[in-house]
Amino acid sequence: MHLDKKYSIGFLLTAIISLSLVLGVYAETDIKLLVNNKEVNTPIEIIDGKSYIPLHAVSEYLGAQVNWNEAARTINVSNSISNKIHVSEGIQTDDGGSYFPVDVQINSGPMIIKISKITLSPNFIYGKNKEALKALILTVEIENTSGDEVIWNLIHGQIVLNTREHIPTGSSFLSDQVDGQFSGKQKKQGNIVFELKGAMDNITSFTYIIDSPLGFQTDYPVSLGMDEAIHFVLRK
């Protein structure tokens, strides 16, 4: 099953961002934003009777890409996913889950992420007390091909499941130290862990959304590549 892409960018801009409300300038509001009947935890600001919602947050919840071009000073929103991966049949694990061997490489500027395995675990064990939770796990290798310092926050990427569950960030506590600051030519390997709340049986696809890497060759951070959205279709 693929993510529903019926939402156009025009709808996103006109129907969500410019929703008219009869309220005062900079008024506080108890309005809640629902996307596909799921509440989105994002601030809503009322200015001159209109509600304003962060484009980046809502777009990514719908699986769209938001890319910033520093040189051109433009923001591009696209509802297409250029990286769609059909994964081979999963292999059962001892804990009742499954894993999927993959060979995926994504380039963004000087950075490369290679994903070698996707795991759906109903009993991911963590902590001194060996507690268990449901998790989606990406086994990765990340490389900085440049000689400069780069920051790439892959653990803080987002997962959007075909079940409409949205995981806004991976767990820094559960994941290995595979992102953040990279010195020149540095590689990091390990797992990125996303905690799942909903049922796992109905998961047949998901999109992994990651921001572009950042460089510090100027006085402020500059995007070195493109935001990426990788869509995986799983065979169970």
Q: Each residue of 35-93: pLDDT tens digit?
A: 666 677 777 777 766 677 776 666 656 656 666 666 667 777 765 555 788 898 899 99
Q: Residue 57: CB partners within 8 Å, gap ≥ 6?
A: 40, 42
Question: How far separated are the first and last CA of the chain, in Å rounded?
Answer: 12
**pLDDT score recorded for residue 79:** 56
Tokens for 33? 């934003």
The low-confidence residues of the chain, meaning pLDDT below 70, are 1-29, 35-38, 48-50, 55-72, 78-82, 236
What pLDDT digit, counting tens, does each position of 139-149 carry?
999 999 999 99
Amino acid making up residue 223: S
**pLDDT score recorded for residue 29:** 67
**Could you give the CA distance from residue 145 to residue 166 in angstroms, rounded to a whole number?**
31
**Of 84, 87, 104, 96, nearest in space to 236 by CA:** 87
The answer to whether 207 and 104 have CB atoms below 8 angstroms apart is no
**pLDDT score recorded for residue 56:** 63
**pLDDT score recorded for residue 53:** 74
For the domain spanning 83-235, the CATH number is: 2.60.40.1240
Each domain of the chain, given as residue ranges in start order, spans: 9-78, 83-235
The answer to whether 154 and 169 have CB atoms below 8 angstroms apart is no
